[in-house]
Chain A
Amino acid sequence: MSHSLRLFPYGQYGWMLQVTENDKTSLDDVVNHLESDDSIDFVEWVIAYDSLLILFSERPTELALREFLAKCPKLKADEPRGRLIEIPLSYDGPDLEGFSRAVGLSPEEVKARHQAPVYSVRFMGFAPGFAYLDGLDPSLHLPRRSSPRARMSAGAVAIGGAHAGVYSVPSPGGWHWLGNTDYPLFNPTADAEGCFVLSPGDRVKFIDSI
């Protein structure tokens, strides 16, 4: 497996692992291996769309890293990764009507297709606790708004490009605001364990709030 990963030394302390389009799951396998195998000492990892950064306090040689990667077990494609989190929401966002028109569906169809999949947290970034979710129905893909809003609320449930997501903190944003959830994804006052509800590799289902 490791021969299909490109390794690139990134800064003074990092190794960047890059994959081609067809091999995305191998980065998830590396993350699982990093988290479960003690033989390599790292500070942290950051996963993105097709790349994984591993930061070290002392960066190992490429050979040492490849030896580590060679031992990486490959998880089966249908083996569930992470936890399943159900996020209840109301579809009361200001962009629901406009989005529905733009994709040529009724708001009810948009809701149904938004709720149908089990999404996976592909990666996180942009703001603390903001998760980019894979698995959005292609009929709901829509490029971001041409001008972002100055403020999306925390809890805004949105679609941007090919991804679904939930804004975890208030911030400017260009995604289409379809609904709102009270489910707090980011709790900075909690201890470290409870701070982030979602982690890369978790799965998400959107459900109607009661």
Chain B
Amino acid sequence: MSANSPLPTATILRTGPSLSVQDLGRHGWRRYGVAPAGALDFLSARLANDLVGNSPESAVLEAAMAGTVIEFHQAAWVAIAGASGASELPSWSAKRFSSGDKLHLTGSSSATWTYVAIEGGGWDVPTVLGSRSYHSRSDLGFALKEGSELHSSHSQLDIYQNISRRYIPPEERVNFASSTPLSLSLGPHHELFTEEQKMALAGQKWRLSPLSDRTGYRFLGETPLSHDHSIMSCPVIVGSIQIPSDGQPIVTLNDGPTLGGYPVIATLDMNDVAWLVQQHPQTQISFQW
């Protein structure tokens, strides 16, 4: 069995700026303060798993930008989906890597997060509270670093023996370039904001701040929604748009705290969140009611 065999399936030679194991998240523990974590762009993560015949909740590697280098020690089908490809394999495709092969993620100017899936049920790291997702703020899950050894969940690899490559045609890939305004739904504290402020949320372009990460994406705008309301801490969900007193919106993401202290003016649909997380800092985003 691969999990017990002395030979790992792969070793992380370089992590790059941000590399973690993610599945579709750990759910059911928010009441204890446990954030769901999980793949930010779950649409691309699912496509990576599809390409190697895995179920959608199989654990993938999530990498930001360029720099991740992985070496394989067993022949295995590997897929990449999302922002960037590798020198050895374009994004939205899968191929068989031989023992000794390396994979170098190249990064992309159009999107941020890339997912690397391995056949045989995904990456086999220990499960914590029902999920293999890593949550860095609480160090929950298996942290990856240079030299980390990883196994595939099954010993039987090399499934597509007579196929040289699989790929997802362009019309089925996630389109990171489209820039239609993101739909807003009213949030539980929308009544604390004036009609003018609600119009200002939808009526201006917001620039994605570089101070954005897996806990939340922050936006900077010409006309912030400044206010002096304070609320008691309340539950926040992925896609909540909170407005701190400085008026610059924050979208809660998978690693964010389960409770927020700022009023929630609106929420975004999950498919729009999956698109949003792929945008680079300084990208201009707009919203509509």
**Interface of A with B (CB < 8 Å)?**
8-14, 16, 18, 43-53, 55, 123-130, 168-169, 171, 188, 192, 195-196, 199-200
Tell me the B233-287 residues at the A interface (CB within 8 Å).
233-235, 237, 239-240, 257-259, 264, 267, 269-270
Contacts of A18 in B (CB 8 A): 188
- Other than A49-B233, A124-B31, give 7 A-B pairs with Cβ distance below 8 A: A11-B240, A16-B234, A16-B235, A46-B235, A125-B233, A127-B257, A192-B130
Is the pair B234, A49 in contact by a Cβ cutoff of 8 Å? Answer: yes
Given contacts A43-B27, A51-B234, A125-B258, contact A10 B188 (CB under 8 A): yes
Nearest 5 Cβ contacts at the A-B interface: A125-B259, A49-B232, A53-B235, A46-B235, A46-B30
Residues of B within 8 A of A199 (CB): 31-32
CB of B195 closer than 8 Å to a CB of A: no
CB distance from B240 to the nearest CB of A (A): 7
A195-B30 contact, Cβ under 8 Å, with A46-B258, A188-B140? no
Answer yes or no: B67 CB below 8 A from chain A CBs. no
Distance, CA A43 to CA B31, complexed state (A): 11
Partner of A48, one of B187, B259, B270: B259
Main secondary structure of the interface of B (DSSP, over half): loop
Given known A-B contacts A46-B31, A188-B129, A123 and B259 have beta carbons under 8 A apart: yes
Give CA–CA (A188, B257) in the complex, Å: 18
CB pair B31–A128 under 8 Å, yes or no, is: no
Q: Smallest distance from the beta carbon of B154 to chain A beta carbons, Å? A: 24
- The reply to whether B31 and A45 form a contact with Cβ atoms under 8 Å apart is yes
**What are 14 of the A-B contact pairs (CB < 8 Å)?**
A13-B237, A16-B188, A44-B29, A46-B31, A46-B235, A48-B259, A53-B234, A123-B233, A124-B33, A126-B257, A128-B33, A129-B33, A171-B137, A195-B32
Interface centre among B31, B267, B269 (most CB of A within 10 A): B31
Give per-residue flags for B12-52: 1 if the beta carbon is below 8 A from chain A beta carbons, else 0.
Answer: 00000000000000011111111000000000000000000
Interface residues of B (CB under 8 A from A): 27-34, 128-130, 137-140, 185, 187-188, 232-235, 237, 239-240, 257-259, 264, 267, 269-270
A43 to B36 Cα, complex, angstroms: 13
Query: Which residues in B have their C-beta under 8 angstroms from that of A196?
Result: 32
Give the distance to chain B from A47, nearest Cβ to Cβ, in Å: 6
A199 to B259, CA, bound (A): 16
Q: Given the interface contacts A18-B188, A127-B138, does A12 sit within 8 Å of B33 by beta carbon?
A: no
The answer to whether A200 touches B234, judged by C-beta atoms less than 8 angstroms apart, is no
* Cβ contact within 8 Å between A48 and B32: no
Most buried by B among A12, A13, A171, A199: A12
A169 to B140, CA, bound (A): 10
B233 touches A124 (CB 8 A): no
The reply to whether A14 and B33 form a contact with Cβ atoms under 8 Å apart is: no
Nearest-CB distance from B145 to chain A (Å)?
Answer: 19
A8 adjacent to B31 (CB under 8 Å): no
